[in-house]
Amino acid sequence: MKITIIGAGNIGLAIARGIAKGSHATSSDITCTVRTEDSYNRLIATDCEFNLLRDNIEAVRGADIIILAVKPWRIEEVLFQVRPSLDDKQIIVSVAAGITFEQLNSYLTRNMDYDSVSLPALFRVMPNTAIEVGSSMTFVSAFNTTEEQTNLVLDLFRELGNALLVEERLMGPGTALASSGIAFAMRYMRAAIEGGVELGFYPKEAQEIVVHTVKGAVDLLLTNRSNPETEIDKVTTPGGVTIKGLNEMELSGFTSSVIRGLKASK
């Protein structure tokens, strides 16, 4: 399978590296494009294992999947540039936040006879920064696709963590819950580390404790297939210190603050 990634920035390269470690493509099957000569030279100097081009039109020819990993404001420009070289058998995946299927379709058909245009299979994909370590929570939404194409894209991104197929209307909330959610989880850990220092641990010790505690909480939920309240009940005894701590956090608006933050981020 031939895969082209337009935009070899942080996300684009993370996706390329993740795909290359999976079962669908090798490094030699993946072409990445960069816009500037400086970026090209910098990546060449790092012994980039992928095919590297500066020509987007050349890059999309013969590709089975084209991943648009450029900034949202460049999507229209890139699609207008490459659309004469696209065919209806190719799969286009947009990683650009906030660019809807309606917009993607308009970019592909603008100034063209709509009835004569065969729209390709389109996907919107929203990973989070944990894709860098193969642990992303990725949302996938599909338009004009077959079941086989949808399963292929889901399989591709499940090799980079977890992937969930959702309606397009949930891409914004998914961004808040998983993409912004990385920052929210980090902010909790930062606060817990600071609290650990106040309790008497050195900063490095506090960070090690908090990181492994959070990892343990995640592993419990994944292994037991339980929900957070079930696991909380296991450590909260009547009159115990844990329930006192939880109640104090709730008095300060812990849950409501999290929910308000999520709503503000979608």
Q: Average pLDDT, stretch 27-45?
A: 88
Task: Give residue for tokens 């400086």.
Answer: 38
pLDDT of 200 higher than 80:
yes
pLDDT in tens, 150-180: 999 999 999 999 999 999 999 999 999 999 9
Q: Average pLDDT, stretch 136-140?
A: 97
- What residues have CB less than 8 Å from 121, skipping those under 6 apart? 90, 91, 92, 142, 143, 144, 145, 146, 149
Q: Is the pTM of this model over 0.85?
A: yes
Lookup: tokens for 3: 């895969």
| Residue 196, pLDDT score | 97
Alpha helix ranges (H) inside 140-253: 147-158, 171-174, 180-198, 203-224, 228-235, 241-251
| Residue 113, pLDDT score | 58
Q: Is 171 exposed, middle or buried (0-12, 13-18, 19+ CB in 10 A)?
A: buried
| Residue 41, pLDDT score | 85
Distance CA 197, CA 215 (A): 20
Read off the pLDDT band of 40 (50, 70, 90). confident
| Residue 42, pLDDT score | 85
pLDDT in tens, 50-60: 999 999 999 99
Q: What percent of the chain has pLDDT over 70?
A: 97
pLDDT of 117 higher than 70:
no
Return the CA Rg of the chain: 22
**What letters, b where the CB count within 10 A reaches 16 and e where it falls short, cover 34-61?**
bbeeebbeebeeeebebebbeebeebbe
C-beta separation of 32 from 8 below 8 A: yes
Lookup: tokens for 60: 């999309």
pLDDT of 115 higher than 60:
no
- Alpha-carbon distance values, 71 to 10, 99, 231, 236 (Å): 11, 10, 40, 46
Q: Could you give all domains of the chain from N- to C-terminal order, each with its CATH number?
A: 3-166 (3.40.50.720), 175-265 (1.10.3730.10)
Q: Average pLDDT, stretch 16-44?
A: 90
